[in-house]
Chains A and B, each alone.
Chain A
Amino acid sequence: MHRPEPAGKMATMAAEVAGQGDTKMAEAASGKQEAEAKQEQGRFSLTSLALIAIILVMFFVSYFTKTEVSGLQIHPMKQFVVKPLFGGKEFSFYTPTIVTLWMGLAILAVVGLLVLGTRGRAIVPNRVQSVAELLYGFVYKMVEDVSGKDGVKYFPHVMTLFIFILAANFLGLIPYSYTTTSQLAVTATMALLVFFGVTLLGLYKHGFGFLKIFWVSQAPLALRPVLAIIEVISYFVRPVSHSIRLMGNMMAGHAVIKVFAGFAGVMGLGAVAPILAITAVFALETLVAFIQAYVFAILTCVYLRDALHPGH
């Protein structure tokens, strides 16, 4: 209703800000001829002026667009909705969705990093190749240390899980992207794959001897049946904790960022505080993205060790 007027105002404001910037720039230009120190000062004030201008513009944009949005509307969970990629509401199991898109991008990222990045096969690696080698060495050493020498056979499986989660987590940090690892369906499937894979492997390798995993031989004999019950329960709870840990971490971080972003949208000049908070949470989420991939992989290695060496 009142849009044209505020828009005009905004334009004049922007022009004013731009004009100020011009004069400041001219000052800075004249200062350049005089002395180095003044030039430095000019650049400094130019940067701060640009920052102030951006904040002012954001303030006015938020001030004038606020009238359109009625009050505080934050939908932190909306970002996790699975939508078909090409419109429509109903979809079957093979319809490409936003999840498909970001899983495909994760594949591309993995191929880019581990295949294209290493195609030079350089003795002295470039940056991408050394990152690929670091990841390889990191996971390989983890499998070897945690699962033992005979666990190295399953290194590609662990690496697949680790690299997929890592790629999905980091891709999810890109603004407007979609975090596939924040979906319980995804993490639960992976956790169940690990659970059944490891259990079947243990049964195949040791037969009924695999049940020794529930029988704590170091404990006093009287305690062993009690411990066995606890062990059985904890064994079957593994996929639950394994999947919900990853999904919960990813979901929580993104939801928190979204909530802060919602605050920033309605706080006008005070938006600086939530923006700073977003910056901090984003830094934390970058750490969490790696740590959760690491935790998922190392737990897989631990379960693998239990399957390969069931005795306590």
Chain B
Amino acid sequence: MAENTKAGEEAVKAAEAAAEAGMPQLDFSTWPNQIFWLLITLVVIYFVLSRLALPRIASVLAERQDTITNDLAAAEELKQKAVEAEEAYQKALADARAEASRIVAEAKAEIQADLDAATAKADAEIAAKAAESEKAIAEIRASAMEAVKEVARDTAKEIVAALGGKADARSVTAAVNARLKELGS
């Protein structure tokens, strides 16, 4: 009898050991304890989250979104300004170019006028000089002609005298003049 109970006790012990070796999760004596602490944990986490963490993160995210939106708007504005500045710069550049070309044209016209005046003056001077020179040349030519006539007359008289004739001054002059006219033409 006593041995029997001992064996029974041992069997119970073995069964307990087997249960322990099996799944401790199915040891229901530990459940109330675990559930109690789990509920406390969940409630604590819920309050920490809903009171502290989540509103804070939400506000940080919203704030960041606002900042980003504002920054984007500011960037857009600055970009607009940059475009305007560029336009103004291009306009100024075009104006400056037009002004420059106008000044160049003006200067060119002025210079042209001066040049024309100087050219005209120079032409006039040249013409005067040329006329003068022509006159001098004509004089020189005339005097040369006279000299030639004289030499020709004298020579003709001498030749005629040498040939034994008596040279009539008038006829000799006429003949020389006619001859010269022939040569001159």
Residues of A within 8 A of B (CB): 75, 77-78, 80-82, 91-97, 99-100, 103-104, 106-107, 110-111, 114-115, 118, 121-123, 125, 129, 132-133, 136-137, 155-157, 159-161, 163-164, 180, 182-186, 189-190, 193, 247, 251
Contact = CB atoms under 8 A, between A and B. Distances in A.
Please report whether the interface of chain B is mostly helix, strand, loop or mixed according to DSSP.
helix
Interface of B: 20-27, 30-42, 44-46, 48-50, 52-54, 56-61, 63-64, 67
Given A115-B52, A189-B38, A251 B25 contact: yes
14 contacts: A80-B24, A82-B24, A93-B32, A93-B33, A97-B34, A103-B41, A106-B45, A115-B48, A118-B56, A121-B59, A156-B46, A160-B42, A163-B49, A189-B39
Nearest to B63: A123
A19 B41 CA distance: 53
Given A82-B24, A107-B44, A99 B33 contact: yes
Please report whether the interface of chain A is mostly helix, strand, loop or mixed according to DSSP.
helix
Contacts of B30: 82, 97, 99, 185
Contacts of B31: 185
B48 A111 contact: yes
B50 to A, nearest CB: 4
Contacts of B27: 81-82
Contact of A185 (B25, B46, B56, B63): B25
Contacts of B54: 114, 136, 155-156, 159
Contacts of B20: 81
Contacts of A160: 42, 45-46, 49
B49 A103 contact: no
8 smallest beta-carbon distances between A and B, as pairs: A114-B53, A93-B32, A185-B34, A82-B30, A103-B41, A156-B50, A184-B25, A81-B24
